[in-house]
């Protein structure tokens, strides 16, 4: 798995994922907020399966 998620993209995914999980845990938005696990994990791993399938890459070229 080659990293295909850049630093800004990763940061946004982690923040949004944590916010959704926190909102779901406090009962603010309901159980569907636990879908925030997906952006959280892709942000932490630096790899997004749909990006790989569609050929997207937000990482800087070295």
Question: Predicted confidence band at 62 (pLDDT cuts at 50, 70, 90)?
Answer: low
What average pLDDT does the chain have?
Answer: 94
The mean pLDDT of 2-6, rounded to a whole number, is 93
Name the helix (H) or strand (E) containing 19: helix 7-25
Question: Predicted confidence band at 60 (pLDDT cuts at 50, 70, 90)?
Answer: confident
The mean pLDDT of 4-32, rounded to a whole number, is 96
The mean pLDDT of 31-40, rounded to a whole number, is 96
Instruction: Provide the 3-class DSSP secondary structure of residue 31.
Output: helix
Tell me, yes or no, if the pTM score tops 0.85. Answer: yes
């Amino acid at each position: 798995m080659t990293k295909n998620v850049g630093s800004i993209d990763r940061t946004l995914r982690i923040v949004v994922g944590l916010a959704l999980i926190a909102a779901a845990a406090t009962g603010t938005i309901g159980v569907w907020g636990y879908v925030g696990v997906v952006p959280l994990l892709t942000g932490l791993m630096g790899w997004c399966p749909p990006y790989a399938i569609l050929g997207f890459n937000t990482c800087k070229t070295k």
